[in-house]
Amino acid sequence: MATDRGGSGPGPGSTGLLFLLSFCVLLAGLCGGNSVERKIYIPLNKTAPCVRLLNATHQIGCQSSISGDTGVIHVVEKMEDLQWVLTDGPNPPYMVLLEGNLFTVYSSSYGSEFAHCRGVTWNPEGNGLAYEDFSFPIFLIKNENETKVIKQCYHDHNLSQNGSAPTFPLCAMQLFSHMHAVVSTATCMRRSSIQSSFSINPEIVCDPLSDYNVWSMLKPINTSGTLEPDDRVVIAATRLDSRSFFWNVAPGAESAVASFVTQLAAAEALQKAPDVNTLPRNVMFAFFQGETFDYIGSSRMVYDMEKGKFPVPLENIASFVELGQVALRTSLELWMHTDPMSQKNESVRTEVEELLATLERSGADVPDVVLRRLSESQALPPSSLQRFLRARNISGVVLADHSGSFHNKYYESIYDTAENINVVYPEWLSPEEDLNLVTDTAKALANVATVLGRALYELAGGTNFTHTVQADPQTVTRLLYGFLIRANNSWFQSILRHDLRSYLGDSPLQHYIAVSSPTNTTYVVQYALANLTGTVMNLTREQCQDPSKVPSENKDLYEYSWVQGPLNSNKTDRLPRCVRSTARLSRALSPAFELSQWSSTEYSTWTESRWKDIRARIFLIASKELEFLTLMVGFGILAFSLIVTYCVNAKADILFIAPREPGSVSY
């Protein structure tokens, strides 16, 4: 009965009041705590963590403890400062703020075990640091102003001048980057898959690195079927991705961007040849994702080709031309690397010979490029061609700016930026002027693109218009600007679909293959390829989105996209249009995950750990003594309040008197 419940006895009533009181205190504590937190913590907003990646057998990268790692800040500007951190300092643990040039300090003894291959050390500057496992967090502070804030805090609250005992409070930093996955891909994928078969709400701890390859054909092919055995295809390939020690920081200017930009320019030049549609052989342009992590993209494409899941079967490949790193030619030379193993077969050897001769012919009339052969016994540099050679003996060549070790000092590092390949602009120009300014690097790469375009033309059987194949330095410079300086420029905006416009930020694009895909780079490369090789169709928006209703159009042969188009003359609206091309995406997820072989040694097994929270903040900490005192006082207050509560509770029937209703039900 309602009245019965309403008239509760004195006992329960007083407990209710007490509950409410303690609830109020708790709430006040929470709110107060928040504002205190805001006062004492300064969050660092522009950081990039080093995160954990796993392969079949190892884990690499960094992590913090689950509640974040805290330490007193020490700024290390020279080697001697490290002494303090490692041995002398009286307040360990320390958080070290290390200048970029000292970042290799801990690793000078590690060998370059990753990028070497049968005798040639391709990357002698590399120290394998990015493939080590660290049990502490490492963050990159991307913004100079935030570094200044930290340094200021350190300078204001560090040791006394004569190096004696430090005076509290000290400036401390806390880094959170706890990783869920441990040990290896085999372990974390097994854990995730057990979870997902038994739990409705599975807790996934790691995800495979995956994205999409971009590919297109010079002449359209039916993507719903497969090619006839006598349809020969020449493949032009390059990679789309790079990496660095830090998560999602991968400028990759020389290791990826310069090469795929060159290939895009070559694709444009070749498409303009007057007789493309009558060439005896077809040309396929492939841009592989995830090559940095044991060739995810190319191994998947080879796998699909073998399984008949790709319209071009492996047997139809006539030859293979790959662009390695090409932006740092110290002289005019462009080196042609070939594979010595496959050439043990006499017929392959002849084909490779023809391939090299074709390239030399194509380069003959191009200024500033001299093609050079290497000793026949030298192994291939790291390249996608190796994945194809594993499956089948094909004739292939890798073009690169180096004969032996890389010219790129900053291979797969945060310093592989526009400056590394000398793409710099005068300060006084506007973004629009920068976009169209033809840099020397762009001219040099356009020459390489011309060589590539002409070679592909001849390899496809063309003879009559070799000299009309000419790459446009303007295209190269715009692409370099867009990928290395500012993605959000007028050209990239005009070639993308409306719903993809947020993929263009004001900063350079990063080329780390992610776990959520397609990434910014993948989309932009696809649409740039569509713009450079496709045609604008006179179709309405509805027709463009569903071309099956238009009798002359065919979705098996072409890809259609409704792009934003350029701004109109009064710069208020865009002039959207339908672009028809053969630029498509194909999955770049390692076959190891397709086959659930998580400890595969054949395919890439790289996964990225999941995490809950990544952040960094600085604050002042008091001395241990003061902390202890505060804690003790806190305990004192707690004990006191417990005693008071107990007394009040015990004497509640005296303190809180309420009239007892006759016949009320007690609880």
The footprint of ligand NAG (CB under 6 A) covers 42-45, 55-58, 60, 131, 143-146, 149, 155, 158-162, 164, 222, 224-225, 275, 278, 345, 347-348, 393, 462-464, 487, 491, 494-495, 502-505, 507, 509-510, 520, 531, 534-536, 538, 554, 556-557, 566, 568, 570, 572-573, 579, 601
Choice between 446 and 583, CB closer to ligand NAG? 583
Smallest distance from ligand NAG to CB 130, Å = 9
Cα(100)–Cα(175) distance, integer angstroms:
19
Choice between 430 and 572, CB closer to ligand NAG? 572
The order of strands in the sheet holding 53-54 is 59-60, 53-54, 607-609, 206-208
Smallest distance from ligand NAG to CB 532, Å = 7
The phi and psi torsions of 286 (rounded to 5 degrees) equal -120, 135
Choice between 410 and 527, CB closer to ligand NAG? 527
Smallest distance from ligand NAG to CB 546, Å = 15
Smallest distance from ligand NAG to CB 280, Å = 7
Choice between 439 and 564, CB closer to ligand NAG? 564
Phi-psi region of 69 (alpha: psi -120 to 50; beta: other; left: phi over 0): beta
Q: Which of 211, 186, 216, 377 is nearest to 311 (CA)?
A: 216
Cis ω on the peptide bond leading into residue 93 (within 30° of 0)? yes
Choice between 14 and 358, CB closer to ligand NAG? 358
Choice between 371 and 446, CB closer to ligand NAG? 446
Smallest distance from ligand NAG to CB 328, Å = 24
Smallest distance from ligand NAG to CB 12, Å = 47
Query: Rounded to an integer, what is the distance from CA 50 to the centroid of its chain?
Result: 12
Choice between 14 and 517, CB closer to ligand NAG? 517
Choice between 422 and 507, CB closer to ligand NAG? 507
Smallest distance from ligand NAG to CB 563, Å = 7
Choice between 99 and 440, CB closer to ligand NAG? 99
Smallest distance from ligand NAG to CB 193, Å = 19
Identify the three-state secondary structure at position 489. coil
Cα(41)–Cα(531) distance, integer angstroms:
49
Smallest distance from ligand NAG to CB 5, Å = 49
Vertex 330: Cα angle to 325 and 334 (nearest 5): 55
Number of Cβ atoms within 10 Å of the Cβ of 87: 8
The shares of helix, strand and coil residues in the chain, as percent rounded to the nearest 5, are 40, 20, 45
Smallest distance from ligand NAG to CB 565, Å = 8
- Counted residue by residue, the chain has a size of 667
Contact 117, 42 (CB under 8 A): no
Helix (H) or strand (E) holding 608: strand 607-609
Choice between 252 and 462, CB closer to ligand NAG? 462
- Residue 659 is classified by DSSP as P
Choice between 37 and 653, CB closer to ligand NAG? 37
Contact 146, 46 (CB under 8 A): yes
Choice between 104 and 152, CB closer to ligand NAG? 152
Choice between 9 and 566, CB closer to ligand NAG? 566
Smallest distance from ligand NAG to CB 557, Å = 6
DSSP E strands, 77-137: 94-98, 116-117, 120-121
The phi and psi torsions of 378 (rounded to 5 degrees) equal -75, 135
Smallest distance from ligand NAG to CB 148, Å = 8
Cα(218)–Cα(278) distance, integer angstroms:
11
The phi and psi torsions of 302 (rounded to 5 degrees) equal -60, -45
Contact 238, 259 (CB under 8 A): yes
3-state secondary structure 11-57: HHHHHHHHHHHHHHHHHHHHHHHHHHHHHHCEEECCEEECCCEECCC
Identify the three-state secondary structure at position 23. helix
Smallest distance from ligand NAG to CB 58, Å = 4
Concatenate the DSSP letters of all residues of 393-407 into one string: ---EEEEES-SSS-S
Contact 427, 415 (CB under 8 A): no
Closest CB to ligand NAG: residue number: 505
The position carrying tokens 């590399």 is 126
Cα(95)–Cα(524) distance, integer angstroms:
39
